[in-house]
Amino acid sequence: MVNITEKIKEIEDEMKRTQKNKATEYHLGLLKGKLARLRAQLLEPAAGAGSGGGAGFDVSKSGDARVALVGFPSVGKSTFLSKITKTKSEAASYSFTTLTAIPGVLEYGGAEIQILDLPGIIEGASEGKGRGRQVISAAKTSDLILMVLDATKRAEQRALLEAELDAVGIRLNKEPPNIYLKVKKAGGMKITFQTPPKILDEKILYNVLRDYKMLNCEVLVRDENATIDDFIDVIMKDHRKYIRCLYVYNKIDSVSLEFLDQLAREPHTAVMSCELDLGVQEVVERIWKELRLMRLYTKRKGEEPDFSEALIVRRDSSIEDVCDQIHRTLKETFKYAMVWGASARHVPQRVGLGHMVADEDVVSIVAK
Ligand SMILES: Nc1nc2c(ncn2[C@@H]2O[C@H](COP(=O)(O)OP(=O)(O)OP(=O)(O)O)[C@@H](O)[C@H]2O)c(=O)[nH]1
Ligand SMILES: [K+]
Ligand SMILES: [Mg+2]
């Protein structure tokens, strides 16, 4: 039987040995493409493997959003969960105290946010070390990854974790690449650049596409700074997940003020000490902000809006999403909606299902 992990290792070694220059660029591009394919294979559940393979933990999603706590062992994930929710997750000084996914509910801004405490992961998690694959599958289902880091540990921990998540197709704080790709039945390859590319060229895209046996397709590269990694992400788009990430350094009670200041300046980063209860509430506020949920208020005809209970919807929601949130079948009897607030051109504005709402809008749905 061919061992995928070994093949991956071989390619990674070859990439490390290969010097990066103009002459090797095409070969490296091909290797990256092959690596992406193998990694996707590795994550496919093996036939007859039962609950193994890439399956996550058996915790159903609930509430308005899900946040996954991801980190090395003993960084304080369970301590944090117990602090911000009513759930108690065992915390101790030894590694792998937590062995399964423990859900808790954070109530904030009228929303119920599911927080998933997870076992610690170690280097090699993406290749199946420890419970790595299960943890990563759970992280993939979340709306926000909270990467919990130990402020007293080496700075590399963050890059190591990022590499593990990257290897399974999770892209943190990134938008999908601005490249259009359409596979066709015939007609050959048509590769177009909207503006002169700074990094890519036609040949490298052609080579990778041929290696993927995508001989008939249309490509339009809209971003002049796109890389071959971006292009491979587009080819592999069914295996990619773009998730926001908040990096949280815990145990700041044990580091110097200078170092703390340095950590806090990194992008998408917050610092806290669960032990001294420092910064924990700020982290909760950051979670809320990063989730980009919106609060809407509903209003019945002829009555005042109900500001006592917000309706929580995701960013980029339309009136149709609002209807679905209120009731499964409301859309079917929908006639029009009246909207007051930032999304309305004039107040109130009469709108249809396609209208995009804004945070704190007041919405009145009129049914047939
Ligand atoms: N100094 C300090 N210790 C902390 C802090 N927060 C948690 N700890 C300690 O760190 C140890 C590990 O905490 P846990 O909450 O079990 O860590 P975990 O990340 O859930 O660990 P695993 O489940 O094993 O992956 C415990 O001994 C905690 O008391 C903190 O802010 N400062
Ligand atoms: K622990
Ligand atoms: Mg734990």
User: What does the pLDDT read at residue 43?
Assistant: 75
- Give residue 217 CA to ligand 3 midpoint distance, Å: 47
| CATH code of the domain in which 83 resides | 3.40.50.300
pLDDT at res. 212: 96
- Please report whether residue 15 resides in a domain: yes
Q: 96 CB less than 6 Å from ligand 1? A: yes
Do 217 and 264 reside in the same domain of the chain? no
Q: Is the ipTM, as predicted for this complex, more than 0.85? A: yes
Q: Same structural domain for residues 125 and 225?
A: no
- Same domain? 264 vs 337: no
What local confidence, expressed as pLDDT, does residue 1 receive?
46
Looking at residue 49, its pLDDT comes to 45
Ligand 1 center–CA 283 separation, angstroms: 16
Strand ranges (DSSP E) for the chain? 65-70, 102-108, 111-117, 144-150, 170-172, 179-183, 189-193, 217-221, 241-250, 269-271, 293-298, 311-314, 334-340, 349-351, 362-367
Q: Are residues 126 and 259 in the same domain?
A: yes
Q: What is the mean pLDDT of each run of 10 residues along the chain (368 residues)?
A: 83 93 90 93 61 66 95 97 97 93 94 96 81 88 97 92 92 97 96 96 96 96 96 96 97 95 94 97 96 94 90 94 93 96 95 96 95
Task: Please give the Cα distance from 97 to 120 (Å, whole number).
Answer: 8
Let me know whether 113 and 29 are in one domain: no
Please give the pLDDT value at position 52: 42
Check residue 334 and give its pLDDT: 96
pLDDT at 22: 83
49 within a domain of the structure (yes/no) = no
Q: Does ligand 1 come within 6 angstroms of the Cβ of 134?
A: no
pLDDT of 45? 61
Judgement on whether residues 326 and 252 belong to the same structural domain of the protein: no
Q: Are residues 186 and 77 part of one domain?
A: no
Expressed as residue numbers, the domain containing 218 is 4-44+177-239
